[in-house]
Amino acid sequence: MSLEGPGLASNVVEELTMIKKRVAYLEEENALLKRGHHAQQRSVRGYRAQQQQQQGRRRFPNNLNNNNTLDNSPKKGPLKQHDENFGCAANFGLGGLLNKYWPPPGLSVKDEARRSGRNIWVGSEHRSLQVSHELLGAALPDAVRGFPVAIFAKYEDNVNTAIKGAAIAAERLREQGRYVGVEASFRDNRNEVTLMVVDVHRSPDEHERGALTVASQTDYKVLGGAVANRVRDRKPTLLRAIGKRAVWAATRAVAVAREYVVETGPNLVFAPRFNSVQLSNRTEPSTVVELYVFAM
Protein backbone atom coordinates (compact mmCIF):
# COMPACT_ATOMS: atom_id res chain seq x y z
CA MET A 1 0.00 0.00 0.00
CA SER A 2 2.82 2.33 0.72
CA LEU A 3 4.19 1.78 -2.78
CA GLU A 4 0.88 2.52 -4.50
CA GLY A 5 -0.05 5.61 -2.50
CA PRO A 6 2.57 8.06 -3.81
CA GLY A 7 2.12 6.86 -7.41
CA LEU A 8 -1.61 7.27 -7.25
CA ALA A 9 -1.32 10.74 -5.76
CA SER A 10 1.12 11.84 -8.43
CA ASN A 11 -1.22 10.62 -11.17
CA VAL A 12 -4.12 12.58 -9.70
CA VAL A 13 -2.00 15.72 -9.51
CA GLU A 14 -0.95 15.33 -13.12
CA GLU A 15 -4.55 14.84 -14.25
CA LEU A 16 -5.69 17.89 -12.30
CA THR A 17 -2.88 19.93 -13.83
CA MET A 18 -3.89 18.78 -17.32
CA ILE A 19 -7.53 19.61 -16.61
CA LYS A 20 -6.60 23.12 -15.43
CA LYS A 21 -4.49 23.65 -18.55
CA ARG A 22 -7.36 22.40 -20.72
CA VAL A 23 -9.83 24.72 -19.00
CA ALA A 24 -7.46 27.69 -19.41
CA TYR A 25 -6.99 26.83 -23.07
CA LEU A 26 -10.75 26.59 -23.62
CA GLU A 27 -11.35 29.93 -21.89
CA GLU A 28 -8.69 31.59 -24.02
CA GLU A 29 -10.14 30.04 -27.17
CA ASN A 30 -13.62 31.18 -26.19
CA ALA A 31 -12.34 34.73 -25.62
CA LEU A 32 -10.70 34.71 -29.04
CA LEU A 33 -13.89 33.48 -30.65
CA LYS A 34 -15.87 36.25 -28.97
CA ARG A 35 -13.43 38.90 -30.14
CA GLY A 36 -13.54 37.45 -33.63
CA HIS A 37 -17.34 37.43 -33.59
CA HIS A 38 -17.48 41.09 -32.53
CA ALA A 39 -14.91 41.99 -35.16
CA GLN A 40 -16.96 40.17 -37.77
CA GLN A 41 -20.09 42.02 -36.68
CA ARG A 42 -18.25 45.33 -36.93
CA SER A 43 -17.01 44.32 -40.35
CA VAL A 44 -20.53 43.44 -41.49
CA ARG A 45 -21.91 46.72 -40.14
CA GLY A 46 -19.14 48.64 -41.83
CA TYR A 47 -19.78 46.84 -45.10
CA ARG A 48 -23.51 47.59 -44.90
CA ALA A 49 -22.84 51.24 -44.10
CA GLN A 50 -20.48 51.45 -47.06
CA GLN A 51 -23.09 49.87 -49.35
CA GLN A 52 -25.77 52.28 -48.11
CA GLN A 53 -23.43 55.22 -48.64
CA GLN A 54 -22.71 54.10 -52.18
CA GLN A 55 -26.41 53.64 -52.84
CA GLY A 56 -27.05 57.10 -51.46
CA ARG A 57 -24.44 58.56 -53.81
CA ARG A 58 -26.07 56.85 -56.76
CA ARG A 59 -29.50 57.94 -55.61
CA PHE A 60 -28.61 61.54 -54.83
CA PRO A 61 -26.11 62.79 -57.45
CA ASN A 62 -25.56 66.16 -55.79
CA ASN A 63 -22.02 66.48 -57.13
CA LEU A 64 -22.87 67.00 -60.78
CA ASN A 65 -20.90 69.69 -62.57
CA ASN A 66 -22.04 71.82 -65.50
CA ASN A 67 -21.41 68.94 -67.92
CA ASN A 68 -23.68 66.58 -65.96
CA THR A 69 -20.69 64.48 -64.91
CA LEU A 70 -19.71 63.61 -61.38
CA ASP A 71 -17.41 66.04 -59.63
CA ASN A 72 -15.61 64.35 -56.73
CA SER A 73 -13.45 67.33 -55.83
CA PRO A 74 -13.20 67.92 -52.05
CA LYS A 75 -15.71 70.31 -50.55
CA LYS A 76 -14.76 73.22 -48.34
CA GLY A 77 -16.89 72.10 -45.41
CA PRO A 78 -20.40 71.20 -44.31
CA LEU A 79 -23.31 73.23 -45.62
CA LYS A 80 -24.54 75.95 -43.33
CA GLN A 81 -28.12 77.12 -42.99
CA HIS A 82 -27.41 80.27 -45.02
CA ASP A 83 -25.87 78.26 -47.86
CA GLU A 84 -27.99 78.50 -50.99
CA ASN A 85 -28.07 74.71 -51.31
CA PHE A 86 -29.24 74.14 -47.73
CA GLY A 87 -32.46 72.17 -47.68
CA CYS A 88 -31.97 70.63 -51.11
CA ALA A 89 -33.12 67.07 -51.60
CA ALA A 90 -29.60 65.98 -52.46
CA ASN A 91 -28.35 67.01 -49.03
CA PHE A 92 -30.67 64.82 -46.97
CA GLY A 93 -28.99 61.75 -45.50
CA LEU A 94 -30.05 58.15 -46.00
CA GLY A 95 -33.25 57.31 -44.24
CA GLY A 96 -34.49 60.88 -44.64
CA LEU A 97 -38.12 61.51 -45.32
CA LEU A 98 -37.46 62.51 -48.89
CA ASN A 99 -36.03 59.15 -49.98
CA LYS A 100 -39.49 57.77 -50.57
CA TYR A 101 -40.46 60.55 -52.92
CA TRP A 102 -37.32 60.84 -55.04
CA PRO A 103 -37.35 61.20 -57.99
CA PRO A 104 -40.71 62.84 -58.79
CA PRO A 105 -43.11 60.71 -60.87
CA GLY A 106 -42.17 60.51 -64.55
CA LEU A 107 -38.59 61.67 -64.01
CA SER A 108 -35.46 59.71 -63.35
CA VAL A 109 -32.80 60.97 -60.97
CA LYS A 110 -30.64 61.90 -63.94
CA ASP A 111 -33.43 63.84 -65.65
CA GLU A 112 -34.28 65.67 -62.45
CA ALA A 113 -30.63 66.55 -61.86
CA ARG A 114 -30.35 67.98 -65.37
CA ARG A 115 -33.19 70.37 -64.60
CA SER A 116 -30.61 72.02 -62.31
CA GLY A 117 -33.41 73.18 -60.04
CA ARG A 118 -33.60 73.37 -56.30
CA ASN A 119 -35.64 70.91 -54.25
CA ILE A 120 -37.17 71.67 -50.87
CA TRP A 121 -38.83 69.23 -48.53
CA VAL A 122 -41.21 71.04 -46.19
CA GLY A 123 -41.56 69.28 -42.86
CA SER A 124 -43.06 70.10 -39.51
CA GLU A 125 -39.93 72.04 -38.50
CA HIS A 126 -40.24 74.45 -41.43
CA ARG A 127 -41.77 77.91 -41.28
CA SER A 128 -43.18 79.90 -44.16
CA LEU A 129 -40.41 82.52 -43.89
CA GLN A 130 -37.77 79.81 -44.22
CA VAL A 131 -39.44 78.49 -47.39
CA SER A 132 -39.61 82.02 -48.81
CA HIS A 133 -35.91 82.59 -48.07
CA GLU A 134 -34.97 79.44 -49.97
CA LEU A 135 -37.13 80.51 -52.91
CA LEU A 136 -35.59 83.98 -52.91
CA GLY A 137 -32.15 82.39 -52.76
CA ALA A 138 -32.96 80.46 -55.94
CA ALA A 139 -33.88 83.74 -57.62
CA LEU A 140 -30.44 85.29 -57.06
CA PRO A 141 -28.43 85.87 -60.26
CA ASP A 142 -25.45 83.86 -58.95
CA ALA A 143 -27.50 80.98 -57.52
CA VAL A 144 -25.97 77.61 -58.33
CA ARG A 145 -29.40 75.99 -58.29
CA GLY A 146 -32.14 78.32 -59.38
CA PHE A 147 -35.58 77.88 -60.83
CA PRO A 148 -37.57 75.73 -61.21
CA VAL A 149 -37.89 74.93 -57.50
CA ALA A 150 -39.70 71.74 -56.48
CA ILE A 151 -41.37 71.93 -53.07
CA PHE A 152 -42.40 68.57 -51.61
CA ALA A 153 -45.08 68.63 -48.91
CA LYS A 154 -47.81 66.41 -47.54
CA TYR A 155 -50.94 66.98 -45.49
CA GLU A 156 -52.53 70.27 -44.56
CA ASP A 157 -49.95 71.74 -42.17
CA ASN A 158 -46.95 71.38 -44.46
CA VAL A 159 -48.82 72.35 -47.63
CA ASN A 160 -50.15 75.45 -45.87
CA THR A 161 -46.58 76.37 -44.86
CA ALA A 162 -45.35 75.83 -48.42
CA ILE A 163 -48.12 77.92 -50.01
CA LYS A 164 -47.60 80.81 -47.58
CA GLY A 165 -43.84 80.70 -48.15
CA ALA A 166 -44.41 80.80 -51.91
CA ALA A 167 -46.81 83.73 -51.49
CA ILE A 168 -44.24 85.72 -49.47
CA ALA A 169 -41.52 85.06 -52.04
CA ALA A 170 -43.84 85.88 -54.95
CA GLU A 171 -44.68 89.25 -53.39
CA ARG A 172 -40.98 90.10 -52.94
CA LEU A 173 -40.19 89.08 -56.50
CA ARG A 174 -43.20 90.98 -57.83
CA GLU A 175 -41.75 94.15 -56.30
CA GLN A 176 -38.61 93.52 -58.38
CA GLY A 177 -40.57 93.03 -61.60
CA ARG A 178 -40.21 89.23 -61.61
CA TYR A 179 -43.16 86.89 -61.60
CA VAL A 180 -43.49 83.24 -60.62
CA GLY A 181 -46.20 80.65 -60.90
CA VAL A 182 -46.80 77.37 -59.10
CA GLU A 183 -47.63 74.03 -60.74
CA ALA A 184 -49.47 71.72 -58.33
CA SER A 185 -49.42 67.96 -58.84
CA PHE A 186 -49.88 64.80 -56.80
CA ARG A 187 -47.24 62.16 -56.11
CA ASP A 188 -47.98 58.72 -54.69
CA ASN A 189 -51.43 59.66 -53.42
CA ARG A 190 -53.73 62.65 -52.99
CA ASN A 191 -52.14 63.60 -49.67
CA GLU A 192 -48.67 64.19 -51.15
CA VAL A 193 -48.28 67.34 -53.24
CA THR A 194 -45.44 68.66 -55.35
CA LEU A 195 -45.38 72.42 -55.93
CA MET A 196 -43.13 73.34 -58.85
CA VAL A 197 -42.31 77.05 -58.69
CA VAL A 198 -41.49 78.32 -62.19
CA ASP A 199 -40.72 81.63 -63.84
CA VAL A 200 -43.63 83.39 -65.51
CA HIS A 201 -42.65 85.87 -68.20
CA ARG A 202 -45.61 88.14 -67.70
CA SER A 203 -47.72 89.41 -64.86
CA PRO A 204 -50.94 87.40 -64.60
CA ASP A 205 -54.06 89.47 -65.19
CA GLU A 206 -55.49 89.03 -61.73
CA HIS A 207 -59.15 89.73 -61.11
CA GLU A 208 -61.18 89.67 -57.93
CA ARG A 209 -64.56 89.32 -59.56
CA GLY A 210 -65.99 85.84 -59.47
CA ALA A 211 -63.80 84.72 -56.58
CA LEU A 212 -64.57 81.24 -55.27
CA THR A 213 -64.48 80.99 -51.49
CA VAL A 214 -62.96 77.73 -50.26
CA ALA A 215 -64.03 76.42 -46.86
CA SER A 216 -62.40 73.76 -44.71
CA GLN A 217 -65.09 71.22 -45.69
CA THR A 218 -64.98 71.94 -49.43
CA ASP A 219 -64.74 68.85 -51.63
CA TYR A 220 -61.53 69.52 -53.54
CA LYS A 221 -62.46 67.11 -56.35
CA VAL A 222 -65.69 68.95 -57.11
CA LEU A 223 -63.90 72.30 -56.86
CA GLY A 224 -61.15 71.02 -59.18
CA GLY A 225 -63.72 70.19 -61.85
CA ALA A 226 -65.23 73.67 -61.55
CA VAL A 227 -61.80 75.29 -61.87
CA ALA A 228 -61.02 73.22 -64.98
CA ASN A 229 -64.31 74.28 -66.61
CA ARG A 230 -63.65 77.94 -65.87
CA VAL A 231 -60.16 77.72 -67.34
CA ARG A 232 -61.50 76.06 -70.50
CA ASP A 233 -64.05 78.87 -70.81
CA ARG A 234 -61.24 81.40 -70.34
CA LYS A 235 -62.87 82.82 -67.24
CA PRO A 236 -60.72 84.36 -64.49
CA THR A 237 -60.45 82.01 -61.54
CA LEU A 238 -59.55 83.13 -58.05
CA LEU A 239 -59.67 80.77 -55.08
CA ARG A 240 -59.94 82.45 -51.68
CA ALA A 241 -59.08 80.36 -48.61
CA ILE A 242 -59.07 81.10 -44.90
CA GLY A 243 -57.33 78.60 -42.64
CA LYS A 244 -54.93 75.76 -43.32
CA ARG A 245 -57.63 73.22 -44.19
CA ALA A 246 -59.09 75.59 -46.76
CA VAL A 247 -55.64 76.25 -48.25
CA TRP A 248 -55.10 72.48 -48.35
CA ALA A 249 -58.40 71.99 -50.22
CA ALA A 250 -57.67 74.83 -52.67
CA THR A 251 -54.22 73.49 -53.51
CA ARG A 252 -55.50 69.98 -54.15
CA ALA A 253 -58.35 71.41 -56.26
CA VAL A 254 -55.83 73.12 -58.55
CA ALA A 255 -53.87 69.86 -58.83
CA VAL A 256 -57.06 68.06 -59.88
CA ALA A 257 -57.92 70.80 -62.38
CA ARG A 258 -54.44 70.59 -63.85
CA GLU A 259 -54.92 66.85 -64.42
CA TYR A 260 -58.09 67.63 -66.37
CA VAL A 261 -56.58 70.38 -68.49
CA VAL A 262 -52.90 69.54 -69.01
CA GLU A 263 -53.47 66.64 -71.44
CA THR A 264 -55.68 68.56 -73.86
CA GLY A 265 -54.85 72.18 -73.16
CA PRO A 266 -52.18 74.52 -71.82
CA ASN A 267 -50.34 74.11 -68.56
CA LEU A 268 -52.17 75.29 -65.47
CA VAL A 269 -50.40 77.34 -62.80
CA PHE A 270 -51.44 79.64 -59.99
CA ALA A 271 -50.03 82.77 -58.42
CA PRO A 272 -50.29 82.72 -54.60
CA ARG A 273 -50.80 85.95 -52.69
CA PHE A 274 -52.15 87.38 -49.47
CA ASN A 275 -55.13 89.68 -49.33
CA SER A 276 -57.20 91.42 -46.68
CA VAL A 277 -60.97 91.08 -46.99
CA GLN A 278 -63.91 92.06 -44.86
CA LEU A 279 -66.07 89.09 -43.98
CA SER A 280 -69.72 89.53 -43.07
CA ASN A 281 -69.42 87.57 -39.83
CA ARG A 282 -66.35 89.45 -38.53
CA THR A 283 -65.80 93.02 -37.43
CA GLU A 284 -62.12 93.22 -38.40
CA PRO A 285 -60.63 92.52 -41.85
CA SER A 286 -59.26 89.02 -42.25
CA THR A 287 -56.08 87.96 -44.02
CA VAL A 288 -56.78 85.30 -46.62
CA VAL A 289 -54.67 83.27 -49.01
CA GLU A 290 -55.65 83.66 -52.65
CA LEU A 291 -54.65 81.44 -55.55
CA TYR A 292 -55.11 83.09 -58.92
CA VAL A 293 -55.30 80.26 -61.46
CA PHE A 294 -54.37 80.88 -65.09
CA ALA A 295 -53.17 79.00 -68.16
CA MET A 296 -49.56 79.34 -69.30
Residues 250 and 189 in one domain: no
Is residue 36 a part of any domain in this protein? no
At 286 the pLDDT is 77
- pLDDT tens, per residue, the chain with 296 residues: 444 555 556 677 777 777 777 777 777 766 666 665 555 555 555 555 655 555 554 444 444 444 444 444 444 444 444 343 334 433 333 333 333 344 445 554 334 433 445 788 888 888 888 888 888 887 887 777 777 888 898 888 999 999 999 999 888 888 888 888 898 888 888 888 889 988 887 766 666 666 888 888 888 888 888 888 888 888 878 888 888 899 999 999 999 888 888 777 778 888 898 887 766 677 777 788 888 888 77
Concatenated DSSP letters of the chain: -TTHHHHHHHHHHHHHHHHHHHHHHHHHHHHHHHHHHHHHHHHHHHHHHHHHHHHHHHH--TTB-TTSSB--PPPSSPPPTTSTTTT-GGGSPTT-GGGGG-SPTT--HHHHHHTTEEEEE--TT--HHHHHHHHHHHTSTT-SSEEEEEEEEEHHHHHHHHHHHHHHHHHHHHHTT-EEEEEEEESSSTTEEEEEEEEESS------TTPEEE-TT--HHHHHHHHHHHHHTT--EEEEE-SHHHHHHHHHHHHHHHHHHTTTS--EEEEEEEEEE--TT-SS-EEEEEEEEEE-
Backbone angles phi, psi at 147, to 5 degrees: -80, 150
Q: How far apart are CA 134 and CA 148, in angstroms?
A: 12
Residues 210 and 185 in one domain: no
In one-letter notation, the amino acid at residue 125 is E
Residues 185 and 266 in one domain: no
Is residue 192 a part of any domain in this protein? yes
In one-letter notation, the amino acid at residue 43 is S
Q: pTM for this one?
A: 0.58
Residues whose CB falls within 8 Å of the CB of residue 235, separated by 6 or more in sequence, listed in order: 210
Domain residues for the domain of 97 are 80-203
Q: Which of 222, 152, 221, 231 is nearest to 185 (CA)?
A: 152
Residues 180 and 211 in one domain: no
CATH number at residue 282: 3.30.110.20
